[in-house]
Structure 1
Amino acid sequence: MLNIKMMKPFYTLQEGNDLKLVFAYQYFSIIKENEVYQFIPVESNEIRINIQTTQIENLTDIFVFQRGTKIFRVRLFQLLQISDLLDHLQSITSFHVQDVKSGDNSEKSSQEVLHFEKENLHRLIDKALLEGDREQFMSLTEQFKTEEAAH
C-alpha cells in the first residue's frame, strides 16, 4: 500500500468540462515502504478529470517517482487502486465539481423561468381575446413572435 504524502497541483486548468491538474517536482510525493519518493515529470505530469462525470480520463498514463537512485513507475489506474490518491483528488477537485453542478442548476432554473413566462404570455393573449381587446391582443402576439424568434 502506498500513501500520498503531499499532492498539490503546480497549477490547475479548466477547459470546458475538463480539469487538468498539472504536477511538478516538489508538489507530489508518496510513501512506499516507509520511504518518501518524489514525483518527477519524466513521462506524465497531469491528471485529466471530466468534472461533469467526475471520471479520470488518462488512467493509463505513467507517473514516475524517485528516491535517490531508486525509481518507481506506476500507471495512474494502479496508483488509484493501491493508494489514497482518490481522497486527495476529491479534496482538490470539489470546488470545480460544485461550480459546474451549480452552473447546471442555474441553467435549469433559467429554462423553467422562460417556460413560465411563455405560459403567462399565452394566458394574457387568451384574456385579451376573451375581452375583445384587439390592441392588447396584437401587442401580445407581436411580443410572443419576438420572443420565439429570440429562442
Structure 2
Amino acid sequence: MLTVKTLKAYRIKVDIDYIYLSVSPPYFTILIEGDEYQFLPIEDKVIKLNRTSKKIENLNAKFAFQKDDEIIYITMTELISMSDFLNQLYLIAKDYYYQNTMEYTAPEIKCIVDELEHLNIKRMIDRALDNRDEAAFYTLLKLL
C-alpha cells in the first residue's frame, strides 16, 4: 500500500502558463507498507502544473525515495493514482490556478455595451426630470 505522508512545496515558481512546485527531502515522504521513505533529489524535483487546466504536465517524471540504504523510484503516474497525493497537491496549488472567468465574444461585448448605454440614458432622463430640464428631457428621449 502506497500513501503520501507529507507533501509540501519547498519552492513555488509561477509563470503565465505553469506552476512549478519544487519538492525537497524534509517536505515529501511516503509510506509503503507502513515503512516511511523520504524523498531523495537524485531524479526529478519539480511537479509542473498547468494553471488553466489544473493538470500535471510532467507525467514522465520519476521521483526517488530512500529508507536506510534502499532507494525506490516512483513515477508521476503512480503518484497521481493516489487520491491523497492529488488532494495535497491541489491544496498547495489552488491559489495559483487561474479562476474560471467568463469569456465573451465581440457580439456579446457589443450587446453588453449597448445595454449599459441604454441604462445610462434612462438615468440621465431621470436626472433631467428631477431637475425639471425640459430641453434635456426631450433630447434624451430621442436617443432611446
TM-score scaled by structure 2? 0.70
Aligned to 1:59: 59
Q: Structure 2 vs 1, CA of residues 12 and 113 (structure 1 numbering), >3 Å: closer, same or farther?
A: same
Correspondence for 2:18: 18
User: What SS does the aligned partner of 2:60 have?
Assistant: coil
Distance 1:114 1:72 in 2: 59
Compare CA radii of gyration and give the structure with the larger one.
2
Deviation digits for residues 46-79 of structure 1, max 9, x if unmatched?
A: 1000020011000111000001101110110112
Aligned residues: 121
In structure 2, C-alpha distance between the alignment counterparts of 1:50 and 1:35, rounded to whole Å: 32
- Structure 2 residue aligned with 1:30: 30
Q: Tell me, what secondary structure is at the counterpart of 1:101?
A: coil
2:112 paired residue among 116, 135, 142: 116
Q: Secondary structure at the match of 2:80?
A: helix
Q: Which amino acid aligns with 1:67?
A: K
Whether the 8 Å CA contact 1:2–1:84 is kept in 2: the answer is no
Name structure 1 gaps, 5 residues minimum: 125-130, 133-151
Q: Which residue of 2 aligns with 1:145?
A: none
The 1-side partners of 2:47 and 2:34 are apart by 25
1:15-66 superposed Cα distances (whole Å, 9 cap, x missing partner): 1120000011111000111111000110100100002001100011100000
Letter in 2 for 1:69: D
Greater CA deviation, 80-89 or 7-16? Answer: 80-89
- 1:86 is paired with a residue whose SS is helix
Q: Deviations 1:89-112 (Å, cap 9, x if unpaired)?
A: 111112222xx116x35x76xxx7
After TM superposition, the score normalised by the length of structure 1 is 0.67
Paired residue for 1:101? 99
Shift of 1:14: 0.9
The CA RMSD measured in Å over matched residues stands at 3.0
Aligned amino acid, residue 75 of structure 1: T
For 2:111 and 2:15, the matched residues in 1 are separated by 30
Moved over 3 A (4+): 112-119
Sequence identity, in percent?
A: 28
Where 1:20 maps in the other structure, the secondary structure is strand
Return closer, same or farther for 1:95/1:32 CA change in 2, 3 Å cut-off: same
Q: Which structure is higher in helix share?
A: 1
Please list every run of 5 or more consecutive structure 2 residues that lacks an aligned counterpart in the other structure.
122-137, 140-144
